[in-house]
Amino acid sequence: MHRVAAVVLLVLVLPPASHGTVAAEPPVIAVQRFLAAVKGRDCERAWTYFSAASRAYIECKSKELTASTPSAAPAFSAHNLYCMPTAAHRYHGYQPNTARLKSLSRDRAIVGIERHDPDGFRLPGFFPTRSTVTVVEIELTDEGGRWAIDVPASATGPQRVCTAPTSSPR
């Protein structure tokens, strides 16, 4: 009886053998984990969820912003730019529990998610009384078996030197 229970437990807990292939986590879960890292200000972990092209873009924007405002260099570092509260902290109002898969292809996914922006305050800077809810999209790319977030060009203002990652044809 104990052996049967142990085997059943192992079958339920351990993933099936994949013979060297790793299945990508679903795009919605990747977005939720990324947003959890941003909310917890775990910028190193959040950084790992960006696509390679997005990381290159963010590094370029980081250099551009740091050159224009050297006193804000720590906040504008590449790993902090989309994680810490800065001008580019676009993901702080996103509600992870509202993430829904909108489209999925072999190597691209779009996740729709609600963004809640404060719309009124009891005291300036404190206690938001209302929120404006906007449904936004997060695009992801499959990079070798994992879903990675693509950053849109408009995320950090007008382009000067850096070019945002472009979506591959679907």
Q: What is the mean pLDDT of residues 159-164?
A: 62
CATH number for the segment(s) 24-156 = 3.10.450.100
Q: Is pLDDT of 138 > 60?
A: yes
> Beta strands of 98-162 (E only): which ranges?
100-104, 108-123, 126-142, 147-150
For 48, other C-beta atoms within 10 Å of its C-beta total 14
**Higher model confidence: residue 16 or residue 87?**
87
Average pLDDT in the 12-41 region? 70
The reported pLDDT for the residue numbered 27 is 95
For the chain, what are the domain ranges? 24-156
Contact yes or no for 76/69 (Cβ under 8 A): yes
Looking at residue 4, what is its pLDDT?
42
Average pLDDT, the chain: 77
Residue 60 region, left (φ>0) first, then alpha (ψ -120 to 50), else beta?
A: alpha
pLDDT in tens, 35-46: 999 999 899 999
Q: Tell me: pLDDT of 88 over 80.
A: no
Specify the pTM: 0.72
pLDDT at 71 over 90: no
How confident is residue 8, by pLDDT bands cut at 50, 70 and 90? very low
Which tokens belong to 127?
């206690």
- Predicted local distance difference test score (pLDDT) of residue 150: 92
Residue 152 reports pLDDT greater than 50: yes
* Cα–Cα distance, 136 to 155 (Å, whole number): 13
Which whole number is the average pLDDT over 70-81? 86
What confidence category does residue 166 fall into, taking pLDDT thresholds of 50, 70 and 90?
A: low
- The answer to which of 10-24, 42-56, 72-86 has the lowest mean pLDDT is 10-24
Average the pLDDT over 143-149 and give the result. 93
Give the mean model confidence (pLDDT) for residues 66-80.
Answer: 86
